[in-house]
Amino acid sequence: MRAAGAALPRSLMTARNTIANSLASRIGLGTVQFGSDYGISNTKGQVPAPEVARILHSAHAAGIRVLDTAASYGSAEEVLGAALVPGQDFAIVTKALPLSHGLEQVERRARRSLDLLGRRPADAILVHAAGDLAGPDGSRLWALLERLRDEGLYRRIGISAYFADRPLELARRYRPDLMQLPFSLLDQRLQQSGQLALLKELDIEIQVRSVFLQGLLFMDPAQLPPRLAHAGPALANTQARIRQAGVRLIEAALGFVLAQDDVDVTVVGVTNTHELAQIVAALATRVSDIDWRACAIDDPVTLTPSLW
């Protein structure tokens, strides 16, 4: 094992950069922090517009080509539209407003999103509140998204869901082009239940989010917020396993999801270019000496940020 801080030979450094660049195409950049103060471990607040532009420039240069946003992410769509420059060929995935706003407003906002982003068509629009599809107007909501796709405003349509939303049932009913789901080293429920593999059998693109579980993976287990204090021992155990393998937490988190053939895109969020550089650098590390399954946490509260 290479000693910490030891310099890499030039040939090995080139190989690492090549690996990182190839894997970057499977990374998507989440933008909720561009439009709001988001994340349990985010102490910096909303990302300033000039830093957003620098992040987008660095991400594109690294080979990242997917941006994830939503109508509900504060001013994120507007900020993105202002920061994007010609030549940045990002595929933009946004999300519709919840049905609680009314179907007409959902449609108006979906069309407005394109104006704010300055992209026609955008790559995809997702149902943001998957529970809406299980309600009485679920079919009408899905028909609206299909119409937007048929009009050529969005190339694809899909669903953003949580584990409790029964994503496999939704997928079998609506046959989306893509689904965005929570999946991480800490939250392996979709894989362990077999749903991840079954979703891929339906020819659905799988985008995963919450790979750092809002930064929980990196937090001190002894200093968790009161509602998460009970997760301290399990988190400490996972962190110890990773460190014993001689890799950093970020390398293990990304290494786990990128090792899954059923995962197409891994969405991560950053608040500055330094964090982005850490993510890109971590892509080049091969992680194999970890019992992945033993790193999972089996607690619905810990794995559901809305319950924190």
pLDDT tens-digit profile of 249-297? Answer: 999 999 999 999 999 999 999 999 999 999 999 998 888 789 999 999 9
Is residue 70 situated within a structural domain? yes
CATH number of the domain to which 171 belongs = 3.20.20.100
Q: Which residue has the tokens 């400490």?
A: 236
Residues 27, 67: Cα–Cα separation, whole Å: 9
More confident residue, 21 or 221: 221
Q: Which residue has the tokens 């962190």?
A: 239
Is residue 3 situated within a structural domain? no
Are 255 and 212 in contact, with CB atoms under 8 Å apart?
no
Provide mean pLDDT across the span 66-75.
97
Residues 123, 305: Cα–Cα separation, whole Å: 27
For the chain, how many residues are written?
308
Please give the model's pTM, rounded to 2 decimal places.
0.89
Calculate Rg over the CA atoms of the chain.
19
Looking at residue 306, what is its pLDDT? 85
| Torsion over CA: 232, 234, 240, 242 (sign) | negative
Write the single-letter amino acid at 176.
P
Angle made by CA atoms 76, 270, 113, in degrees to the nearest 5: 20
pLDDT in tens, 140-180: 999 999 999 999 999 999 999 999 999 999 999 999 999 99
pLDDT in tens, 182-220: 999 999 999 999 999 999 999 999 999 999 998 999 999
Q: What confidence tier does 299 reach under pLDDT thresholds 50, 70, 90?
A: very high
Write the single-letter amino acid at 212.
F
Three-state secondary structure call for residue 85: coil
For residue 88, which of 115, 113, 52, 47 has the smallest C-alpha distance?
52
Residues 66, 76: Cα–Cα separation, whole Å: 15
For residue 186, which of 295, 271, 79 has the smallest C-alpha distance?
295
Write the single-letter amino acid at 171.
A
Is residue 2 situated within a structural domain? no
Residues 165, 143: Cα–Cα separation, whole Å: 20
Count the domains in the chain: 1
Q: What confidence tier does 307 reach under pLDDT thresholds 50, 70, 90?
A: confident
In this structure, what DSSP letter does residue 159 have?
Answer: E
Is residue 4 situated within a structural domain? no
Is residue 109 situated within a structural domain? yes
Show the beta-strand stretches assigned E in the chain: 27-30, 66-68, 91-95, 122-127, 154-160, 178-182, 205-209, 265-269
Buried b (16+ CB within 10 A) or exposed e, 153-185: bbebbbbbbbbebebbebbeebebbbbbbbbbb
**The token pair that represents 57 in the structure block:** 């420039």
By residue range, what is the domain housing residue 48?
Answer: 10-307
Is residue 58 situated within a structural domain? yes
Is residue 291 situated within a structural domain? yes
Are 129 and 137 in contact, with CB atoms under 8 Å apart?
no
Provide mean pLDDT across the span 229-251.
96
Residues 307, 265: Cα–Cα separation, whole Å: 26
* Dihedral pair phi/psi, residue 301, rounded to 5°: -65, -50
Is residue 14 situated within a structural domain? yes
**Over the chain, what is the mean pLDDT?**
91
Are 122 and 57 in contact, with CB atoms under 8 Å apart?
no
The stretches of 76-124 forming alpha helices (DSSP H) are: 76-83, 103-117
Three-state secondary structure call for residue 238: helix
